[in-house]
Amino acid sequence: MTQPKSFGDALIEAIPNLRAFAHSLSGDGQLSNDLVQETLLKAWTHKESFVPDSNLKAWLFTILRNTYFTYYRKSQREELDEDTAAMNASVPPAQLTHLEFEDMQRALMRLSADHREALLLITAEGFSYEDAARVCGCAVGTMKSRVNRARSKLLEEMTGQPVDDGHREPEEAPKSSSGP
């Protein structure tokens, strides 16, 4: 007899992607496990507020990114910077050479946090623009423009060449993400 999948089973199924998202968003393998742990606890505690048959993964990602940005804002005073990524650089990569893998992580960490999460949700995780916008609490159009900008920036970071996309970035005031 097959048991219907429990909420716990669904959580466990989501863990690998939650960890990948947490790690690439925070650039820190240690921190990412803490973030996932906290996400699981919060999801469990608030499971009544999850609408059955809606997108559990999107819900969990929302909790995770909100948890991260709460933490991020706190730790900004303590200068959490891209070096954290390098110090906690992770895992021997499967398809990328180690250097390519580290380059990618480093380049990602040099993006603003909202550009980084946009790219991760859309390009890496494969969320629809609608789901990604819901996760980040922004408009769909904002999500689309973030992804495009993030791609250009990332390419610049990786090649060291300015990307001529016909768009000049205005002097950007250091602005924290659009967190909750």
Partner 1 sequence: MQHRLDTSEDCKRADGELPERQPEPEAIKAPVPQLPGFAAQLIGQRMRAMYETLAQEPVPDDLLELVRKLEAKERPE
Scan residues 31-70 and list those touching partner 1 (CB under 8 A).
31, 33-38, 40-46, 49-51, 54-55, 58-59, 62-63, 66-67, 70
Q: How far is CA 6 from CA 12, 28, 123, 126, 149, in A?
A: 10, 30, 29, 25, 40
Of 28, 125, 127, 132, the one binding partner 1 by CB under 8 A: 125
Question: Where do runs of H (alpha helix) occur along the chain?
Answer: 7-26, 29-45, 56-75, 82-87, 98-110, 113-119, 129-136, 140-159
Q: Is 148 in the site for partner 1 (CB under 8 A)?
A: yes
Q: Is 1 in the site for partner 1 (CB under 8 A)?
A: no
Q: Is 132 in the site for partner 1 (CB under 8 A)?
A: no
Distance CA 94, CA 104 (A): 14
Q: Is 17 in the site for partner 1 (CB under 8 A)?
A: yes
Give the relative orientation of helices 140-159 and 98-110 as an angle to the nearest 10 degrees: 130
Measured from the CB atom, is 46 or 81 closer to partner 1?
Answer: 46
| Interacting positions 149-178 with partner 1 (CB under 8 A) | 149, 151-152, 154-155, 158, 163, 165-168, 170, 178
Q: Is 89 in the site for partner 1 (CB under 8 A)?
A: no
Of 5, 96, 162, 176, the one binding partner 1 by CB under 8 A: 96
Tokens of 166: 């016909």
Of 3, 77, 78, 94, the one binding partner 1 by CB under 8 A: 94
In single-letter form, the type of residue at position 44 comes to W
Q: Are 121 and 136 in contact (CB under 8 A)?
A: yes
Measured from the CB atom, is 83 or 167 closer to partner 1?
Answer: 167
Q: Are 105 and 27 in contact (CB under 8 A)?
A: yes
